[in-house]
């Protein structure tokens, strides 16, 4: 057997590996077939003028990879490489996975989402992702370097399920300014508010149980609910917030285990409820002993003044699980949000978080803590709020200018999203097709309905488009709506997914 061997110049692989790699290549090329007996160690060592130990190591390497098999007294034989080419999923013999029903439903939901073509020039009214050009990336990088210099390698170990104490203390202080009285021990850091929502729902509800949700509501929460095998009980949103009479009925149902709500800068509506409505909602939840998951993901984004007190600030009974996130008010990439709750809820959340992923990235939590302590977060918020206010003004002015009579929209006092209702007879999913062709994207209303029903509503965001783009985009949308209205009523749509 003629195996070329490079010796000793330091740059070449160890000789045993050269032998093993050569033999492996011969097998893969089909020149050494399954069942072939390899030369004895003694013979190959002599042929190649190497130590027997070297050949022995080469054969062990091949055996470890499952490519040869050795039997004492019989020798070493080539085996068919077990993996061969991976089979394609529809080949005979391929594993046909059987997913759980919630997983199949979740995949359907994902497939029903609009495919926003990757058109970099499109005006992106669809995305609720803050604009990277507004991120204070340099200040954050400095904070990151500072904590790595001062706290060092310990920041690269596990941070535990509760997360960085300094950041929890900073959050407790900020929340206190909004009227909440949670200590750092009553706060758990999480992977953005989204993880917190899923963890909180899992405390109270399991397969077949029901979550009361606003109708419409945050589309990703509908996915989270589906993924957990839970069901929704939709409660309609009125001008003033959740319909309280309907909520009373819904929370009275024993299969309804909790309420998920967004009282401030609602997603997708952009509206906020009054203090009186909040108190009435809490009283209702209290009567039925049902916990309330409050999504306060935009609580720091009032355009001016302070936002209304969160439910968690008005909650004397300890019903509320309060979720905060840096994803919209700073950037999402740190993947840091928080869950504030009381008593046994905290123990349960910590256990759930631990069993889910053992906790988040301590180093990013520490950097955020530094960033907040240095005042960089408040400076960023001041700039961001001004920017958003001016974009909101531009959006409302453009809507008034370009949208037809019969269209209505919300006038948010904070956050990124404005909800528009098209005139009677239009479906926002039809409009999206026209709009995409014209280079304008938005989120059609059916995404926010628990049953994907056809909707006149649509969500526009002011996350990435500046004032000029807002004017241009709304003008284009207005044109398309006028054209649709002129063309007469469309065929009726079915709900998605059915």
Site for a copy of itself, residues 314 to 353, rule: CB under 8 A? 314-319, 327, 331-335, 342-345, 347-348, 350-352
CA 41 to chain centre: 56
**Least separation, in Å, of the C-beta of 473 and a copy of itself?**
21
Among 26, 70, 77, 103, binds a copy of itself (CB under 8 A): 103
Among 50, 293, 363, 465, binds a copy of itself (CB under 8 A): 363
Extended strands (E) in 296-336: 320-325
Query: In sequence order, what DSSP letters do the residues of 228-270 get, joined into one string?
Result: TT-EEEEEEEETTEE-HHHHHHHHHSTTEEEEEE--SS-TTT-
For a copy of itself, the closer of residues 196 and 454 by Cβ is 196
SS (HEC) of 380-402: HHHHHHHHHHHHHHHHHHHHHHH
Residue 308 three-state SS: coil
Among 65, 253, 287, 482, binds a copy of itself (CB under 8 A): 65
**Position 286 contacts a copy of itself (CB under 8 A):** yes
DSSP letter for 463, please.
S
Which residues touch 459 (CB under 8 Å, ≥6 apart)?
A: 126, 267, 268, 417, 418, 419, 420, 442, 443, 445, 448
**Position 382 contacts a copy of itself (CB under 8 A):** no
**Least separation, in Å, of the C-beta of 93 and a copy of itself?**
6
For a copy of itself, the closer of residues 235 and 311 by Cβ is 311
Report the alpha-carbon angle 422-465-445, nearest 5. Answer: 30
Q: For residues 137 and 270, what is the distance between their CA atoms, to the nearest angstrom? A: 28
HSE (side-chain half, CA atoms, 13 Å) at 135: 16
**Position 94 contacts a copy of itself (CB under 8 A):** yes
**Least separation, in Å, of the C-beta of 111 and a copy of itself?**
9
Among 119, 185, 206, 451, binds a copy of itself (CB under 8 A): 206
For a copy of itself, the closer of residues 36 and 356 by Cβ is 356
Count of residues touching a copy of itself (by CB under 8 A)? 115
For a copy of itself, the closer of residues 144 and 458 by Cβ is 144
**Least separation, in Å, of the C-beta of 197 and a copy of itself?**
10
**Position 107 contacts a copy of itself (CB under 8 A):** yes
Q: What share of the chain is helix, strand, coil (3-state, %, to 5)?
A: 45, 15, 40
Residue 16 · residue 44 · CB < 8 Å: no
Residue 167 · residue 62 · CB < 8 Å: no
Part in contact with a copy of itself (CB under 8 A); list of ranges 128-136, 243-251, 449-457, 488-496: 128-136
For a copy of itself, the closer of residues 313 and 485 by Cβ is 313
Would you state the structure tokens that stand for residue 126, as one six-digit string? 């669809």
Residue 431 · residue 480 · CB < 8 Å: yes
Considering only residues 290 through 319, tell me which ones interact with a copy of itself, judged by CB under 8 A. 291, 305-306, 308-309, 313-319
**Least separation, in Å, of the C-beta of 155 and a copy of itself?**
6
Considering only residues 207 through 236, tell me which ones interact with a copy of itself, judged by CB under 8 A. 207, 209, 220, 223-224, 226-227, 229
For a copy of itself, the closer of residues 70 and 472 by Cβ is 70
**Position 153 contacts a copy of itself (CB under 8 A):** yes
**Position 71 contacts a copy of itself (CB under 8 A):** no
Would you state the structure tokens that stand for residue 129, as one six-digit string? 């992702």
**Position 78 contacts a copy of itself (CB under 8 A):** no
**How would you classify residue 75: left for phi > 0, otherwise alpha for psi between -120 and 50, otherwise beta?**
left
Q: End-to-end CA distance of the chain: give it in Å, rounded.
A: 66
**Position 11 contacts a copy of itself (CB under 8 A):** no
């Amino acid at each position: 057997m003629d195996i070329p061997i490079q010796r000793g110049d330091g740059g070449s692989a160890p000789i045993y590996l050269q032998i093993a790699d050569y033999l492996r290549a011969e097998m893969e090329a089909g020149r050494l077939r399954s069942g072939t007996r390899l030369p004895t160690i003694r013979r190959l060592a002599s042929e190649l003028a190497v130590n027997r130990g070297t050949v022995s190591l080469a054969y062990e390497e091949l055996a470890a990879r499952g490519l040869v098999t050795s039997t004492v007294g019989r020798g070493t034989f080539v085996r068919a490489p077990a993996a061969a080419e991976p089979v394609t999923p529809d080949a005979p013999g391929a594993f046909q996975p059987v997913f759980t029903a919630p997983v199949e439903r979740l995949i359907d939901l994902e497939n029903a989402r609009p495919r926003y073509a990757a058109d970099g020039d499109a005006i992106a009214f669809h995305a609720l992702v803050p604009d990277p050009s507004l991120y204070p990336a340099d200040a954050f990088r400095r904070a990151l370097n500072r904590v790595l210099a001062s706290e060092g390698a310990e920041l690269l170990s596990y941070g535990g399920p509760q997360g960085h104490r300094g950041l929890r203390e900073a959050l407790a202080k900020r929340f206190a300014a909004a009227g909440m009285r949670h200590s750092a021990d009553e706060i758990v850091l999480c992977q953005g508010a989204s993880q917190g929502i899923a963890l909180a729902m899992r405390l109270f509800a399991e397969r077949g149980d029901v979550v009361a949700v606003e109708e419409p509501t945050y589309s990703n929460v509908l996915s989270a609910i589906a993924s957990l095998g839970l069901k929704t009980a939709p409660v309609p949103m009125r001008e003033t917030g959740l319909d309280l009479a309907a909520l009373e009925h819904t929370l009275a149902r024993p299969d309804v285990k909790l309420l998920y709500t967004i009282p401030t800068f609602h997603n997708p509506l952009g509206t906020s409820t009054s203090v009186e409505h909040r108190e009435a909602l809490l009283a209702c939840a209290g009567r039925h002993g049902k916990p309330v998951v409050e999504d306060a993901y935009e609580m720091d984004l009032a355009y001016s003044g302070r936002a209304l007190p969160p439910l968690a600030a008005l909650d004397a009974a300890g019903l509320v699980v309060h979720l905060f996130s840096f994803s919209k008010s700073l950037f999402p990439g740190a993947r840091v949000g928080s869950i504030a709750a009381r008593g046994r809820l905290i123990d349960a959340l910590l256990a759930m978080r631990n069993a889910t992923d053992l906790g988040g990235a301590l180093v990013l939590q520490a950097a955020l803590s530094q960033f907040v302590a240095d005042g960089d977060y408040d400076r960023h918020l001041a700039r961001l709020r001004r920017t958003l206010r001016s974009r909101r003004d531009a959006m409302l002015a453009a809507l008034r200018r370009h949208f037809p009579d019969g269209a209505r929209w919300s006038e948010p006092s904070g956050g990124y999203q404005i909800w528009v209702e098209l005139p009677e007879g239009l479906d926002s999913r039809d409009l999206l097709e026209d709009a995409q062709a014209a280079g304008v994207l938005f989120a059609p209303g059916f995404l926010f309905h628990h049953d994907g029903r056809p909707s006149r509503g649509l969500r526009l965001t002011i996350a990435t488009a500046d004032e000029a783009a807002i004017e241009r985009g709304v003008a284009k949308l207005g044109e398309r709506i006028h054209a649709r209205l002129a063309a007469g009523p469309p065929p009726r749509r079915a709900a998605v997914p059915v």
